Amino acid sequence: MFETEINTSVAKAAAWLHKGEVVGIPTETVYGLAGNALNEDAVLKIFKAKNRPHFDPLIVHVHSIAAIEKYAAHIPPKAKLLLQKFSPGPLTVLLPKRECIPYLVTSGLDTVAIRVPNHPLTLQLLQEIDFPLAAPSANPFGYISPTSSYHVYDQLHGRIPYILDGGVTDVGVESTIVGFVDDEVVVNRLGGLAVEEIEKVVGKVRVETQQSANPKAPGMLQHHYAPKKKMFLLESAGKATDLEAGYILYNEHLPYISHQNQILLSPAGNLSEAAKNLFAAMRQLDKSDVSAIYAIRFPEMGLGRAINDRLYRASVNE
Ligand code: AMP
Ligand code: MG
């Protein structure tokens, strides 16, 4: 057990990491639970603190594209183009790993998921330490990802010594994961970087995210990012008839449901703002006394696609 400290000191975070402990770190997507990616004992502590099964691989965080070259054996030209355009940022690339990355991090795969997070404190931290950070989202396995240091504290206090406080995350959903098969670009997880943005750089991509049965990408498990309350994803507002439930909506209230039970993710109608507010809204309704949580499908464009993906996975899909 630890007395968990929340603080903005990067030096303190570095000191815990040097000792082989794991700490909460801010990124622009969601908070991560970070440990030395080259130290198997530290990596084991990540899995343990989260209750995460070992078959679910971790993303490795580094401070620059140059650092990616230290841990990836090869960077295909299209990966390089994307990294140059979007790093630091919510882009994770799947690349053949070098030997120094333990198989524990990649769940036995020969590829490593790697990215440069865009948060000033975490970039500073990565500069100060001389190892990369393995960091999945800082939440118990299967639950909603944390978008503030308080969310991390709420669920992991006592299990970790330290949370580096970087405020509320900017993007609010996890990174977009992109793989490279022969010459093709494949999006394995929809996330904070919109598919349209990727296609502007490398042309048409394949989106392949419904792989629930595929143990190679368990982040794609269908039931994930879920609140404790039952959650349902509705195709249209007309189906929202449960007066006791809480609602997650884009920019318009439902006229016949108490406003108190509705959260508009972006009254101005901005999908990036909606993504930023999504997980906090799910947590808020999960803690409130509504009977269940409903969401209505968002426009299937830009970050709306990642929002719909998270809502779908959080919902009961019989
Ligand atoms: P999280 O850090 O919790 O957002 O989850 C990381 C996710 O990245 C995993 O659940 C996988 O879906 C994906 N991932 C990590 N490493 C690999 C890899 N080597 N190959 C394919 N997917 C990966
Ligand atoms: Mg996660």
Question: Domain-by-domain residue ranges, the chain?
Answer: 5-172, 231-314
Which of 296, 315, 298 has its CA nearest to residue 306? 298
The three-state secondary structure class of 89 is coil
Pocket test for ligand 1, best of 50, 56, 216 (most atoms within 8 A of CB): 56
Q: How many CA atoms lie within 13 A of 79 on its CB side?
A: 24
Whether residue 287 is predicted with pLDDT greater than 50 in this model: the reply is yes
Q: How far apart are the first and last CA of the chain?
A: 38
Count of Cβ atoms closer than 10 Å to residue 12 Cβ: 15
pLDDT at res. 223: 75
Atom index in ligand 1 nearest the CA of residue 111 equals 19
Take atom 12 of ligand 1 and give the residue whose Cα is closest: 219
pLDDT at res. 207: 96
pLDDT at res. 168: 98
Radius of gyration over alpha carbons of the chain, in Å? 19
Whether residue 255 is predicted with pLDDT greater than 70 in this model: the reply is yes
Rounded to two decimals, what is the model's pTM? 0.96
pLDDT band at 209 (very low <50, low <70, confident <90, very high): confident
Query: In 113-208, which ranges are continuous DSSP H helix?
Result: 120-128, 149-156, 195-202
Q: How far is CA 117 from the centre of its chain?
A: 11
Sorted by sequence, the CB contacts under 8 Å of residue 131 that are 6+ apart come out as 17, 36, 37, 38, 39
Domain covering 5-172: architecture:
Alpha-Beta Complex (3.90)
Q: Rounded to whole angstroms, how far apart are CA atoms 185 and 189?
A: 12
Take atom 21 of ligand 1 and give the residue whose Cα is closest: 217
Q: What separation in Å is there between the alpha carbon of 179 and the centre of ligand 1?
A: 11
Ligand 1 contact via 137 beta carbon (within 6 Å): yes
Q: What separation in Å is there between the alpha carbon of 219 and the centre of ligand 1?
A: 6
Atom index in ligand 1 nearest the CA of residue 175 equals 4
Q: What separation in Å is there between the alpha carbon of 81 and the centre of ligand 1?
A: 21
Place of tokens 């299937």: 300
Whether residue 293 is predicted with pLDDT greater than 90 in this model: the reply is yes
Ligand 1 contact via 94 beta carbon (within 6 Å): yes
Task: Encode pLDDT of 71-124 as tens digits.
Answer: 999 999 999 999 999 999 999 999 999 999 999 999 999 999 999 999 999 999
Ligand 1 contact via 118 beta carbon (within 6 Å): no
Q: Which two tokens stand for residue 215?
A: 């143990």
Whether residue 163 is predicted with pLDDT greater than 60 in this model: the reply is yes
Q: What separation in Å is there between the alpha carbon of 171 and the centre of ligand 2?
A: 15
Count of Cβ atoms closer than 10 Å to residue 272 Cβ: 17
Ligand nearest to the CA of 219: 1
Whether residue 178 is predicted with pLDDT greater than 60 in this model: the reply is yes
Contact 91, 178 (CB under 8 A): yes
Domain covering 231-314: architecture:
3-Layer(aba) Sandwich (3.40)
Q: What does the mean pLDDT of the chain come to?
A: 94
Ligand 1 contact via 266 beta carbon (within 6 Å): no
- Tell whether the torsion through CA atoms of 262, 304, 221 and 147 is positive or negative: negative
Q: Rounded to whole angstroms, how far apart are CA atoms 239 and 187?
A: 31
Atom index in ligand 1 nearest the CA of residue 105 equals 16
Q: What is the pLDDT averaged over residues 190-206?
A: 98
pLDDT at res. 303: 98
